[in-house]
Amino acid sequence: MPNDKLDAYDIRILALLQRNGRLKKVSLASQVGLSLSSCWERLHNLEEAGFIREYRAEIDLARLVKTELIIATMTLERHTKQDFARFEEAIEAIAEVIACYAVGGGIDYVLHIIARDIDHYQQLIERMLEMEIGIAVYFTYVVTKTVKRFEGMPIAELLERPARASSAASRPADSLISGEPARRRTEASRLEATSRRPRSGP
């Protein structure tokens, strides 16, 4: 089931389920606008095709323990394939590192780390340095406020973007520029064409 076979109903099902994986089938069908049997069949097909990897529960960690969310950037001493592999293998085994991204630019990795407090985080960093996994420089950024929580990918918006880009690419460049600057450029082209036109007669 390739993604180009998905229609608006399938996209709606995926968007709703990633926000609430325990959404009852009756409610899901109602919100999507399908009959219960049709919605169930589509959901089953999406699962079988691998569009839905798994269902998870989001735990309210604040009710269990007070924590600090910390973003750390790290740069390695050397940049060989073996150095990257060694670092990434070590990070996989550290439970407090809840996300790690390899990035381009002036740093090598961005880590999201959850800790009980700053002391806990510092102990973790010291342990990582003692592991000798090639860390040359690291910077720490303590999250003071969550402005926007992750609640799922913007599936519909991401799938619409190529169509918009394709539509824009099919139009002439001048039509993509609106307003007075475009009109001035058009008028300037006309004047230039007129000035190049040869005069007739003496």
Domain ranges of the chain: 3-48, 61-142
> Which tens digits make up the pLDDT trace of 166-201?
454 445 444 433 444 444 444 545 545 444 454 444
- The rounded distance, in Å, linking the Cα atoms of 128 and 19 is 35
Q: Which residues pair with 68 in a beta bridge?
A: 115
Query: pLDDT-derived band of residue 5, with 50, 70 and 90 as boundaries?
Result: confident
Q: What is the pLDDT of residue 156?
A: 86
- Average pLDDT over the chain, rounded to an integer: 84
Q: What is the pLDDT of residue 142?
A: 97
Backbone angles phi, psi at 92, to 5 degrees: -55, -30
Q: What is the pLDDT of residue 113?
A: 98
Tokens linked to 10: 């399938």
Backbone angles phi, psi at 174, to 5 degrees: -65, -30
> Which tens digits make up the pLDDT trace of 130-155?
999 999 999 999 999 999 998 889 99
Q: May I ask the CATH class of domain 61-142?
A: alpha beta
Poorest-pLDDT segment among 46-50, 101-105, 132-136, 155-159: 155-159
- The rounded distance, in Å, linking the Cα atoms of 123 and 171 is 58
Contact 44, 55 (CB under 8 A): no
Q: May I ask the CATH class of domain 3-48?
A: mainly alpha
- The rounded distance, in Å, linking the Cα atoms of 138 and 71 is 10
- The rounded distance, in Å, linking the Cα atoms of 76 and 109 is 9
In the chain, pLDDT over 90 holds for what percent of residues? 69
Does 163 score more than 50 pLDDT?
no
- The rounded distance, in Å, linking the Cα atoms of 15 and 12 is 5
